[in-house]
Amino acid sequence: MTLQIVFNDFIDLIFPRCCEGCEKPLIGNEETICTVCRISLPRLNSEGMNKDTLQYKFVNVPEIISTHSFLLFTKKSKVQKLLHVLKYRGNKEVGILMGFMFGQEMLAAGELPNAELIISVPLHRKKKKNRGYNQSDLLAEGFSSATGIPWSGTALERVKYTETQTGKSKTERRENVRGVFEVREKSLPESVIIMDDVLTTGATLEECVETLKTAGCTQFYILTIALAQH
């Protein structure tokens, strides 16, 4: 046992690092989320949900080739807790790690989209300034690190500040996000991934697709860390 390991164990004893999912102390080389939580997080496939079920959300958008969500989001669940830590408690590592795990598992399953660029769904500059970062950027960064697909947090800009989508119907959500995005990068590939944190009705993602189509993008893959179960 090296001196560094002894020192780290001593620090963990005095100032224990805790898992962001279950709040139990991390041990050994564990970082941010413990091994038990990483294994037990509810994958979509384990809940009987598959890509065909997700695809129905965008049945009227033929340019969307496929849709994948990593985890199942339910109220008071561990997934909700992790996303809350990411969005409201400033823990950027959670976002990067969850994106990395998602990328690793898609790669291992042979389901990696044939896309040239990952585009994260942007926050309005006012909200990004208040939060300090865009959580979708962190997810895209982690996914990119695992898969080697480059990512961009500047391809799209949210130019209109909108009220929260929470509690709105799909029609209301679509109206709320209409015209809120603009393309900011002059040269974009035809095939792109759009990445966000939670998929609910899909209204925001559809608006991203419509905006990116004006820049010459023709094939889209939707990836979200979680799918909201109503």
Q: Is 109 found in the same domain as 205? A: yes
Spatial CB neighbours of 99, under 8 Å, sequence gap ≥ 6: 138, 139, 140, 141, 142, 143, 144, 145, 146, 195, 225
Q: Is 183 found in the same domain as 138? A: yes
Q: Is 87 found in the same domain as 15? A: no
Total domain count for the chain? 2
User: For each of the chain's 230 residues, which pLDDT tens digit applies?
Assistant: 465 544 455 455 555 789 999 999 998 889 999 999 999 999 987 555 555 667 688 888 999 999 999 999 999 999 999 999 999 999 999 999 999 999 999 999 999 999 999 999 999 999 999 999 999 999 999 999 999 999 999 999 999 887 666 666 667 777 778 889 999 988 999 999 999 999 988 999 999 999 999 999 999 999 999 998 76
Report the predicted TM-score, pTM, of the whole model to 2 decimal places: 0.88
Q: Is 46 found in the same domain as 36? A: no
What range does the domain containing 74 cover?
41-228
Question: Which tokens go with 83?
Answer: 């996303």
Q: Is 11 found in the same domain as 52? A: no
Q: Is 57 found in the same domain as 32? A: no
Distance from C-alpha of 180 to C-alpha of 164, rounded to nearest angstrom: 13
The answer to whether 184 touches 154, Cβ cutoff 8 Å, is yes
